[in-house]
Amino acid sequence: MADVSLNDQVAVVTGARRGLGRSYALELARCGAAVVANGRQGSDGLDELVAEIEGEGGRAVACSSDVDTRSGGKAVVDKALEHFGRLDIVVNNAGILRTGYFEDLADREIDAILDIHLKAPVYVTQAAFPVLRENGYGRVVNTSSNTAFGMAGLAHYAAAKAGIIGLTKSLALEGAADGILVNCVLPNAATPAMENDPVPGFEEDTRFVDAFMTVAGRHHAELVAPLVAYLASSACKLSGEAFSALGGRYARVFYGVTEGWFSPRDAAVTPGDIADRIEEVTRIDDGFLVPNKIRDEYEAVAALFGGDRAGG
């Protein structure tokens, strides 16, 4: 078995007072990292988490700051530097749940979700990036969600979580030259947020309910934490990737672009042409491209201009 060690590393974990974040903080500490456990100002549970980590022989410090603000994001990075003298790992986990059908969402629900799920990782990682660049090393683990595949009653949440995948891929490119690897997880676990704010209409989708209940016995945060610890370690050499953790199954998540239909050169394309060729546009039987950057798709299409693939 591979030895994944975080000895002499310092990690920031946002949203650490309960649920997934608490599990991540404990796992990172057990792997040897000193942990800055972050939670909202006025929230409880951080001191207890720090005491538990220290009771197991680890090192930790609490940092109460609202990371959905620029100053709050900087504060958690500053705490790591002030208390432990360095920073190596950022785990952007802080989140809330505000459910509701799309047409019923008010500004307060939309802003709350976008602020904590999308803007907070930006603020924390912006503060951390110069530190990691100076180190010549860093690991950033962001939190997406399989709601990004689509879920009624969570359109705003799904939009934010889909945005995290794009953010992750772009930061991976910007950090590569300085040894900063950036990945994201799509965690599935039963948390208090899910219990306190159920998704409307969930029980009406009986197929989903059946599948959910089958997996429910393994909806433990502790099954997600090992993936996060691996991605936060030097053992991980991947960057710009997304990984699902669901019921003890771990899998890569990726964008794919079909081979599609290449229209005739120098010919106008009409909506009718698209309608006639829609099966070619959507077919995946002939293979697909998994781009790591926008250039990959451009290069794939540019190659068609030199071949004989132009359609009739």
Q: For the segment 62-86, what is each residue's pLDDT rounded down to a tens digit?
A: 999 999 999 999 999 999 999 999 9
Residues 306 and 271 sit within 8 Å (Cβ to Cβ): no
Could you tell me if 222 and 277 lie in one domain? no
Q: CATH no. for residue 166?
A: 3.40.50.720
Same domain, 297 and 186: no
**Separation CA 119–CA 18 (nearest Å):** 21
Residue 310 lies in a domain: no
Residue 144 pLDDT exceeds 60 = yes
Which of 139-153, 196-210, 251-265 has the weakest average pLDDT? Answer: 196-210
So what's the pLDDT on residue 195? 58
Q: Is residue 62 part of a domain?
A: yes
Q: Are both 213 and 262 inside the same structural domain?
A: no
Measuring CA to CA, which residue among 259, 215, 227, 269 is closest to residue 91?
A: 227
Q: In the beta sheet, which residues pair with residue 251? A: 244
State which residues form the domain around 293: 257-304
Above 80 in pLDDT, residue 208? no
Q: What is the largest CA-CA distance in the chain?
A: 71
40 and 181 fall within a common domain: yes
Q: Region 159-175: what's the mean pLDDT?
A: 98
State whether 111 and 216 are in the same domain: yes
Cα–Cα distance for residue pair 117/125, rounded to 1 Å: 13
286 and 209 both lie in a single domain = no
Question: What is the tally of structural domains in the chain?
Answer: 2
Residue 160: what are its φ and ψ, rounded to 5°? Answer: -65, -40
In this structure, are 24 and 147 located in the same domain? Answer: yes
Per-residue pLDDT, 196: 58
Is residue 1 one of the residues assigned to a domain? Answer: no
Encode burial over 71-92: b for 16+ CB neighbours within 10 A, e otherwise: ebbbbbbbbbeeebeebbbbbb
Structure tokens at 94: 């802080």
Model confidence pLDDT, tens digit, residues 272-285? 999 999 999 999 99
Confidence of residue 209 (pLDDT cuts 50, 70, 90): confident
Q: Are both 142 and 280 inside the same structural domain?
A: no
Instruction: Please report where in the chains the tokens 């006639």 appear, as a residue.
Output: 276
Radius of gyration (Cα) for the chain, nearest Å?
22
**DSSP 8-state symbol, 243:** E
Same domain (yes/no): 267, 191: no
Full-model pTM = 0.92
Q: Is the dihedral of CA 163, 168, 173, 174 positive or negative?
A: positive
Residues 218 and 118 in one domain: yes
What confidence tier does 138 reach under pLDDT thresholds 50, 70, 90? very high
- Does 2 reside within a domain? no
157 among known catalytic residues: yes
Q: Which residues of 293-307 are buried (b: 16+ CB within 10 A; e: fewer)?
A: eeeeeeeeeeeeeee
Residue 269 and residue 212 share a domain: no
- Measure the CA–CA gap between 117 and 94, rounded to whole angstroms: 7
Residues 45 and 19 in one domain: yes
Kindly name the residue from 157, 230, 250, 255 that is annotated as catalytic.
157
